[in-house]
Structure 1
Amino acid sequence: MAARAGIVVTGTEVLTGRVADRNGPWLAEQLRRAGVDVGQVIVVGDRPADLEGALRYLRGAGPDLIITTGGLGPTADDLTAEIVAAVQGRPAALDVELERHIADIVERLSAGRGWRLDPESTAAATRKQALVPAGAGVLAPVGTAPGLVVPPADGAGGPPVVVLPGPPRELQGMWSAALAHPVVAAALAGRAELRQQTLRLWGTPESELAAVLREHDSQLDGLEITTCLREGELEIVSRYQPAAEPAYAALVQAISTAFADTLFSPDGRTVDEVVADALLERGLTIATAESCTAGLLAGRLTDLAGSSAYVLGGLVTYSNAAKQDLAGVDAELIERLGAVSAEVAVAMADGARARVGADVGVGITGIAGPGGGTPDKPVGLVHLCASGLGRRVERRVVLAGSRSDVRQRTVAVAMHLVRELLGP
C-alpha cells in the first residue's frame, strides 16, 4: 500500500491567483516518484486560523506525512513555523547557532547586492527565522529561510510536518534533504512503488473513450484512471502499484485497438517531444510564418532544450505587406481570396520554408478576435498548412474562446499538423 501525504500551500498571493502555485504540483509528482500518494493539496492565505484549520483537517484525514510551503520569511505575515509548532504541540525556542548561520547568509546577500539594512530590524528578522520547535529537525537554508521537520508531541500521535519555504528554487533545493530526514523516512517506511503512465490521443471525444473503458472495466482492477481534455488532446493518466501491471497492459491494448488512428503518444511523450524527436531523428529543420499567432508557434517549438538543432527561424507576418515582403505571398492572391484563406496559409508555409531554407514550413493565418469577423469568415477561423518532404498537410478550423484561447489552440493544432506531416 502506498504511503499518503497532504500538502498545504500558504500565501494570499497564491490563494488570490496573483502567483500561480508551482509548489503543490511539483511536490505531488516528487512524492509520487517516492511511492507516496497525495490525498489533498490545500491552498490557504496568510491567516493563522486558516492555516491551523487546514493542518488540523489533514491530521484528521490520517496521512503519513504533511508538507507545508511558504510563510517562512521574516515579515509579520510569515507564520507557518509558529502555527505548525502549536498544532504539533512543540513550543518554539531560539536556535542560536541557526541564528548566526542565517545572519551570515543575510550579510553575504546584502554585501553582494548593495543593500543598506537597518541592524536592529535585520537582527529581529533573523531571530524570527531561527525559532525552532522543540525536537524539530532543521533543514539547511537554500535562501535565508531554514526548513523544518516537526514530529508530533511525544505520545500525541499523528504525522510529522515538513515545513518548506515558498520560493520554488529554495523548496526544490531542500527537497532531497527533507525526504532523507530520519523522521520522514520512518514515517514513509514500507511504502510501495506507485507507478504512473500516460497515453495521449488527438481528436478523440471523451465520450468515445468512456465507452471503451466501460467495455473493458473488468480488466482494469487496480488502476486509478483519470482523463483530461486539453486543447484537443485527450490525456489518459493511470496510477497503480506494480501488481496491477497486467491491468495497465490490458488498458494499453484496449486503447491501441480502439483508437489506433488517434493515439499519438503511447509512451507519455508530449506532442512537442514527438515533433522534436521526429525532426532530430531524420535530421530535418523547420521554419514558421505566423499571422494571428504572431510567433507563438516558433516560441513553443523552441521551448525544448536543444531546439537550435532543428528550428531555423520564424516570420511574424501580421500585415498583408509583411506576408508579401517576408514570406513571399503573392499580393494578387491576398487581394483575390483575402489574407485569411487556405491558399494564403499554403503560400506562407512554402514561403517560410523557402526564405529560411528549412525542410519543413508552417503557415498560420486567422482571425483571433474579438473583432474582425464576418459571416463568411467568423472570429476563430484559422487556416493552417505544414509543407515539406514533397507534401502538404492543411487544416481549416473554427476555434471557440477568447483571443488568447484561439491563439493557444491554434498553436496546438499546428503542432499536430507538423506531427502528421512527419509521421509514417
Structure 2
Amino acid sequence: MSTPRAAVVVTGTEVLGGWVTDVNGPWLAQRLGALGVQHVSTTVVGDRPEDLRAALENARDRGLELVITSGGLGPTEDDLTTQIVAEFTGRPVALDEAVEGRIWAIVEPMSRRWKGISQEAVRAANRKQALVPDGAAILEPVGTAPGLVVPPTDDDPDRPPTPTVVVLPGPPPELQPMWRTAESHPGLLAAVRGATTLHESTLRLFGLPESELANTMRDARRAGVAVDAFEITTCMRGGELEVVSRWAPEQDADGRAFEAFVVERHGDIVFSPDGRTIDELVLDGLRGRGWTVATAESCTGGLLAGRLTKLPGSSDVVEGGIVSYSNAVKEQALGVDPALIAAHGAVSPEVAAAMAAGARERLGVDVAISTTGIAGPGGGSEEKPVGTVHVAVAGPDGGLSRHLRLPGDRDRVRELTTTAALHLLRRVIAGEHDAP
C-alpha cells in the first residue's frame, strides 16, 4: 500500500498578505510527518471562495487522500470554509441545533459586556458556525468554532474521489488541541490507512556551518551508514543547526547509527543529542547546580531575560535583569566605572565583564550574563562595525567572555546575540572559565 499523501490549505487574506505569519502550516506539516503521512504541499489562499475551491480541486486531481484547512470558520461574511468544502464534496449543509447551543453557551457571557449590541443579532451571526455538511463529523470547539471531518465522495466516475477534508479553525491555540483530537478520529484514520508512525529525533549543534554537515553526510554514507534510507532534514535556526531525522520502526538501527556518527564526529558541537533546546538545557543546568541567574543587557534590550523566563518554572532560578541601555544606567545600576567606558567604549570586553560582575553583585545571584553591542543599522565604525557584540558571564569560579561579529539586520543581530549568550552561560554552568 502506498504512503498516504496530504495537503494543507491555510486561508486568510491577512496571512496571504503577510500581516500575520503562518504558524499552522509548518506545525501541521510536522504532525503529518510524525503520523507517517507524506505532506506534499502547503498552500496559502486569501478569503476568496474561488481560490479555496481551486486548492481543493488541485488536491483532488492529484489523488491526495487528505486535505487539512485552517481558518475561515468565524461568524463574518468572509468566513466561507465550511460552505466551500460542502460544495466541493457535494454535501448540503444544515444547522446542528446542539452545536449551536454549545456555541451560544460560550458566546453569551461575553455578549453581555458588549453595550449597544443586540444579543439576538450576535446569536444569529454565530449560527453560521453551527452549519454542518451532511455526513460530516464534528470536532468540538476549543474557542467558538467547531471543526469538521468531512468524508470523501465519489460522485464522478471520470475523476478521483474527493479527499477527506479536516476543517480546523485559524487561531493556533484552537487549532492545535483540535488537531490532536482529530488524529484519533475514525474518519481521519481511514484516510491515512497504511501510514506508519515514525520515530522523530532531533540533534542540535552550535558552531558548525551547514556546509560542513553536508561533508558529514557524505562521510557517513562512505562509512556504510544508510543515510538515504530515511528522512534527514537540516535547518539553520537562530544561529543553531538542527538535524531532524524520521524513521520507521524497522529502520531504527540505521537511524541510531546515523545519530551516533554525527555525535562522534562533532563531539561537544552537538550540544543537545536529545532535542532539548539551549533554553531548556540552561535552566536544567542551573537547577542542577543550585544556581540563580540574572542578566545585564544593553543591545538585546531585555530579549535575553525574555528567553530565560519564557519556559514555565523558570522562576526557581531566574532572579531578574537590568536593561542598561545607556551609559548612565550601566554606571548607576550596575556600578560600571565611568573611566572604563571612557577608556574602552561601552561596546568592549572590559565593559561587558564589568556589567556581568555588577549584575551578579547587585542582584545577589550565583551567575550573571551581559550583552553589549552595535545592532545597527547605524552606530558602527571601522573599528567596531555593525554586528560587533561582546558577551560576558560571571560565575562563582570565574567566567567567560566572547567577542562576536554577527551578520544580518538589527533583529537578526539581537536574536543571534541571545543564542550565543545562552551557549556561553551553558559552558560556565558546565565548569568552563577563562584563565585568570
Same fold (TM over 0.5): yes
Equivalent runs, 1:278-289 vs 2, <5 Å: 278-289=285-296
Report the equivalent of 1:79. 80
Cα shift readout 1:103-158 (whole Å, capped 9, x = no counterpart)? 444333313x3454336644542443232222212223333322221112255634
Cα shift readout 1:60-112 (whole Å, capped 9, x = no counterpart)? 3333321111111121111101111111121223334444444444333313x
Equivalent runs, 1:54-69 vs 2, <5 Å: 54-69=55-70
Report the equivalent of 2:211. 207
Distance 1:137 1:222, change over 3 A: same
Unpaired runs of 5+ in structure 1? none
**Distance of 1:266 and 1:2 partners within structure 2:** 29
Tell me whether 131-140 or 281-290 shows the greater mean CA deviation.
131-140
Tell me whether 383-392 or 98-107 shows the greater mean CA deviation.
98-107
Equivalent runs, 1:33-72 vs 2, <5 Å: 33-72=34-73
Kindly state the Cα deviation for residue 354 of structure 1 after the two structures are TM-superposed. Answer: 1.1
- Where 2:166 maps in the other structure, the secondary structure is strand
Match of 2:365 among 358, 362, 365: 358
Equivalent runs, 1:177-326 vs 2, <5 Å: 177-217=181-221, 218-219=224-225, 220-326=227-333
Distance 1:183 1:420, change over 3 A: same
CA contact (8 A) 1:70 1:164 kept: yes
CA contact (8 A) 2:86 2:133 kept: yes
Report the equivalent of 2:31. 30
Kindly state the Cα deviation for residue 51 of structure 1 after the two structures are TM-superposed. Answer: 0.6
- Where 1:54 maps in the other structure, the secondary structure is helix
Cα shift readout 1:135-190 (whole Å, capped 9, x = no counterpart)? 21222333332222111225563421111111223323433442333222322334
**Distance of 1:268 and 1:3 partners within structure 2:** 27
**Distance of 1:24 and 1:214 partners within structure 2:** 31
Kindly state the Cα deviation for residue 207 of structure 1 after the two structures are TM-superposed. Answer: 1.6
Kindly state the Cα deviation for residue 369 of structure 1 after the two structures are TM-superposed. Answer: 1.7
Distance 1:306 1:159, change over 3 A: same
State percent identity of aligned pairs: 55
Distance 1:391 1:160, change over 3 A: same
**Distance of 1:411 and 1:95 partners within structure 2:** 51
Distance 1:291 1:61, change over 3 A: same
**Distance of 2:267 and 2:181 partners within structure 1:** 44
Distance 1:291 1:273, change over 3 A: same
Tell me whether 83-92 or 114-123 shows the greater mean CA deviation.
114-123
CA contact (8 A) 2:111 2:119 kept: no
**Distance of 1:343 and 1:372 partners within structure 2:** 19
Kindly state the Cα deviation for residue 16 of structure 1 after the two structures are TM-superposed. Answer: 1.4
**Distance of 2:425 and 2:193 partners within structure 1:** 47
**Distance of 1:390 and 1:260 partners within structure 2:** 25
- Structure 2 length-normalised TM: 0.91
CA contact (8 A) 2:233 2:245 kept: yes
Q: Name the aligned partner's letter for residue 80 of structure 1.
A: T
Q: Name the aligned partner's letter for residue 363 of structure 2.
A: V
- Where 1:24 maps in the other structure, the secondary structure is helix
Distance 1:339 1:291, change over 3 A: same
Cα shift readout 1:200-223 (whole Å, capped 9, x = no counterpart)? 111111121101101222522322
Q: Name the aligned partner's letter for residue 230 of structure 1.
A: R
Distance 1:88 1:331, change over 3 A: same
Please tell me whether residue 94 in structure 1 is matched to residue 129 in structure 2. no
Q: Name the aligned partner's letter for residue 215 of structure 1.
A: D
- Where 1:261 maps in the other structure, the secondary structure is helix
Post-superposition, which runs of at least 4 consecutive aligned residues in structure 1 deviate over 6 A?
none
Please tell me whether residue 166 in structure 1 is matched to residue 170 in structure 2. yes
Match of 1:329 among 323, 336, 342: 336
CA contact (8 A) 1:110 1:116 kept: no
Distance 1:98 1:115, change over 3 A: farther
Distance 1:330 1:78, change over 3 A: same
- Where 2:268 maps in the other structure, the secondary structure is coil
CA contact (8 A) 1:90 1:152 kept: no
Q: Name the aligned partner's letter for residue 59 of structure 1.
A: R
**Distance of 1:259 and 1:409 partners within structure 2:** 21
**Distance of 2:62 and 2:12 partners within structure 1:** 23
Q: Name the aligned partner's letter for residue 164 of structure 2.
A: P
CA contact (8 A) 1:2 1:193 kept: no
Distance 1:307 1:320, change over 3 A: same
Please tell me whether residue 117 in structure 1 is matched to residue 122 in structure 2. no
Distance 1:115 1:23, change over 3 A: farther
Kindly state the Cα deviation for residue 52 of structure 1 after the two structures are TM-superposed. Answer: 0.9
- Where 1:247 maps in the other structure, the secondary structure is helix
Q: CA RMSD, aligned part only?
A: 2.1
